Each structure stands twice: as structure tokens, then as C-alpha cells.
Amino acid sequence: MSKTTATFDDSLADRSAWRAGEHCPISKALEIIGTRSAMLIIREAFYGTTRFDDFADRVGITEAVASARLRELTEAGLFEKVPYREPGQRTRYEYRLTRMGLDLAPTVVGLYQWGGAYLSRRGRAPLTLTHTDCGARVHATVACEDGHRLDDFGDVTIVRARSLDTPPAAAPDHRRQA
């Protein structure tokens, strides 16, 4: 059986000596997107919803909740408000995903994929996400910067992040000395 949990490097191996704490990126992310209504609003934005009334209706939340969540997500930088005006009407606003919001695509796809596999009837989501250009199914994966796919978290080693003030260590020079 393969190992399914991460390995910690020597400086982090004693888990009782440190805690992820308030600076944990997962904790920080959940402060913004950790409610059901926030994630469903983000889902709807990926599906093309931009208008306040449509978010409230499609997510099935009250206008008060939609207003609070859209305000929070906009203040956090996931949405931008863009004015529009129907003929004869007052100016209103559309909510469009920013780069920060668009970068949640792997998270949204991953939640959809996981929910489809484990929580949907017969282990199948009601919709299939496909790549427009080739028609292949879209799915979330975990991979390293070199493109190696990681099949489980047992292939991950957790190390301390390098300080932003510390320059990267010079790579060893493996060139042959003449």
C-alpha cells in the first residue's frame, strides 16, 4: 500500500514543535471562500453569471446574503464591479471575476470532480466538464513544477518556505572543470 500523507523535512518533523496557525494559506483562503454561499457564487461566476439578481436566484440565497457575499468577495479582490445600464433604468453593476478569482478554477473543478465521484448519484456528476478545443474531459490534478503528476499526497514533502529576504541558494555547478 502506498503512503497517502505528506512527509516533513527534518526541521518540521517534530509536529509538536510548530503549528500552521493563523498564517496558514488554507485558513486564510477559507476566511474568504469558506462559506457555502461564497463557493456557489464563485461557481456561478465560472458558469457566466454576472448580475446580482441572477446570483441570488441561481444560488438560492436571499438578497441580503447575496449582497454580503458579493461585497466580501469584491473587497477581497475576487470580483470587480462593472457598471452597466439598461435603457431607461438606473446604473447597476455586474460582478466579474478578477485574475485572483479566475485562479480558483482548479479549486472549483476539484470540488466538482470530488463531489461528482463521492456525493452524486451513481458516482457521476450531472454535468461533464470538457475542453472546448478537443472535447476531452476536464479534471483537477496535483503536479509539481516539472509537470510530474502526483497521485496522492504521499508524494509530497513539506519544507520550510524560504524567507522572502533570503536570496535563493546558488545551484551547484555540475559542469566539468577543465
CATH number at residue 116: 1.10.10.10
CB 117 within 8 A of CB 136: no
User: Quick one: pLDDT at residue 17?
Assistant: 86
In a domain, 165, yes or no: no
Question: Tens digit of pLDDT for each residue in 104-159?
Answer: 999 999 999 999 999 999 888 999 999 999 999 999 999 999 999 998 889 999 99
In this predicted model, what pLDDT tens digit does every residue of 61-118 receive, in sequence order?
A: 999 999 999 999 999 999 999 999 999 999 999 999 999 999 999 999 999 999 999 9
Per residue in 114-143, is it b (16+ CB within 10 Å) or e — as a string? Answer: eebeeeeeeeeeeeeeeeeeeeeeeeeeee
Task: Specify if 93 maps to a domain.
Answer: yes
Domain assignment present for residue 142? The answer is yes
DSSP annotation of 83 reads E
In a domain, 72, yes or no: yes
- Domain-embedded: residue 176: no
Owner of C-alpha cell 488554507? 26
Q: Considering its fold, how many domains does the chain have in total?
A: 1
SS3 at position 94: strand
Distances 3 to 16, 122, 154, 155, 157 between C-alpha atoms, Å: 21, 28, 5, 8, 12
- The conformational region for residue 135 under phi > 0 = left, psi -120 to 50 = alpha, else beta, is left
26 belongs to a structural domain: yes
pLDDT at 175: 43
Q: Would you say residue 55 lies in a domain?
A: yes
17 belongs to a structural domain: no
- Quote the pLDDT of residue 168: 53
Domain, as residue range, for 106 = 7-11+22-158
pTM: 0.83
What integer pLDDT is reported at residue 123 of this predicted model? Answer: 86
- Give the pLDDT score at 174: 43
Q: What is the pLDDT of residues 154-177, one digit of tens each?
A: 999 999 887 555 555 544 444 444
